[in-house]
Structure 1
Amino acid sequence: MSTNFDEQQWRAELEGHRDHKDDFFATERQSPIPADQRDAFDGLSYFDPDPAYRVEASIDPIDSDDTITMETTVETEQEYERVARLAFELADEERTLVAYSGVTQGGDSLFVPFRDKTTGQQTYGAGRYMEFEVDGEVTAADTVVLDFNLAYHPFCAYNDAFACPLPPEENWLDVPIEAGEKLPDA
């Protein structure tokens, strides 16, 4: 974690992000919540904010056109390019996740789908996602902050009409990540 981390500001920003997302889910036409269920929607469920799940990861760019085909929740496939390996320490062990970019989407956003020991119990059975942007080129960056408190369920957790990529085995963590979105009543 960086030395200039302001926990109070971080908590306020995280709560603001969650409030904004709840409002989007409750009111916007693009919400994954079916229109006939939005009036009853009273917000997503979250783990309590925990700065221990905000970690600095070293970036090891993958300098190739290495792609992976991910299965989806509706038995289709989506192709992604492997962009970087992210190495970080969590629960006193070194861990890695792979960051991807959509082959057809382009853009600077990195996509990190993952499963962990909460998957299917406290969190959605198909896994969760994180997305983030690196300032400048990924190949020029040394580190990035991974904030698992921003981990979210894909839209297919709320509506079967969506096709969501399933995290590949290389992004399965053998530790519970009790941060970010969780299932109601979990």
Structure 2
Amino acid sequence: MRFLKNFKKSGALTLLLAFSFAFAAAQQQDEEALQLINKHRKKQYKEFKGSESPLLPKDKKRFKGLNYYPIDLKYRVQAKFRRTENEPLFKMKTTTTRLPEYTKYGEVTFSIDSTSYTLEVYQSPEIMKRPGYEDYLFIPFTDLTNGEETYEVGRYLEFRIPKSEDVIIDFNLCYNPYCSYNPNYSCPIPPAPNQLPIAIPVGEKKFKDH
């Protein structure tokens, strides 16, 4: 009986320690995610204040920062990446007459509120030739906030060629295309497969009403 009591105590202690370690690991991951999001926002602020800012001169003079939703790690989701092979080049529509070439590089599938969604991931043959962008991919998308709280054309997520099928998609990092600040820019319009039928209330909001 003493052995059984000790075993039960030992088992309970093991479960408690395992839970504690798991909780601590999750908490650390959340803290790292928050640091990454805040770093992204500080980088954007610096870029928009800099000499290569996309802002119109009148907007840059009174620029005090971009508009964001509050951070919500519910929209930092675990996803599965699937590489799609032998995809043809296609011309992606933009906010102007420009038609840059892209290819579908793969797909990411994830769940929000127990519903599964898939977004296509694209690669630009031209952009990948630039130093530091050899593994660059991007995910343009729309959601139900567009035209209301966010830019009507859609928003973007940066992505890099992953080393495994397990990836993180953090919508807190989604940002507006440059044409949302300045009509002199030409920006890709998210293709139909990337039109999400839900609201994504995180990331960058509309800069101003046009």
Q: Same fold (TM over 0.5)?
A: yes
Q: Which residue of 1 aligns with 2:187?
A: 164
* Residue number among 40, 62, 77 corresponding to 2:62 in the alignment: 40
Where in structure 2 are there 5+ consecutive unaligned residues?
A: 1-24, 129-133
Question: Where does 1:109-148 land on structure 2 (aligned, <5 Å)?
Answer: 109-136=136-163, 141-148=164-171
Counterpart-to-counterpart distance in 2, 1:9 and 1:105: 29
Deviation per residue, 1:46-103 (Å, 9 max, x gap): 0111100001110111011333321100132121110011111013201000000002
Native 8 Å contact 2:180 2:207 kept in 1: no
The letter of the residue matching 2:38 is: E
Over the aligned positions, Cα root-mean-square deviation in angstroms equals: 1.9
Offset at 1:105?
1.9
Helix, strand or coil: the match of 1:45?
coil
2:36 counterpart (13, 18, 28): 13
Q: Distance in 2 between matches of 1:179 and 1:29?
A: 28
Amino acid at match of 1:171: N
Larger relative CO (CA 8 A, sep 6+): 1 or 2? 1
TM-score by length of 1: 0.89
Unaligned runs of 5+ in 1: none
After alignment, is 84-93 or 161-170 more displaced? 84-93
2: CA distance between counterparts of 1:18 and 1:6? Answer: 19
The letter of the residue matching 1:129 is Y
Give the CA deviation at 1:30.
1.4
1:49 aligned to which of 71, 74, 89: 71
TM-score, structure 2 normalization:
0.80
Counterpart Cα distance in 1 of 2:60 and 2:47: 10
Structure of greater Rg: 2
Q: Which has the higher helix share?
A: 2
Which residue is equivalent to 1:69?
91
1:31 aligns with 2:46: no
Give 1:108's aligned residue.
Answer: 135
Equivalent residue pairs, number? 180
Task: Give the distance between the partners of 2:185 and 2:60, measured in 1 at CA.
Answer: 17
Would the aligned equivalents of 2:146 and 2:152 in 1 still touch at CA under 8 Å?
A: yes
Q: Any conservation in 2 of the 1:134–1:144 contact (CA below 8 Å)?
A: no
When you count strand as a share of all residues, which structure comes out higher? Answer: 1
Q: What percent identity do the matched residue pairs reach? A: 32
Contact kept? 1:113, 1:171, Cα under 8 Å: yes
The secondary structure found in structure 1 opposite 2:148 is coil
Alignment-mate amino acid for residue 127 of structure 1 = G
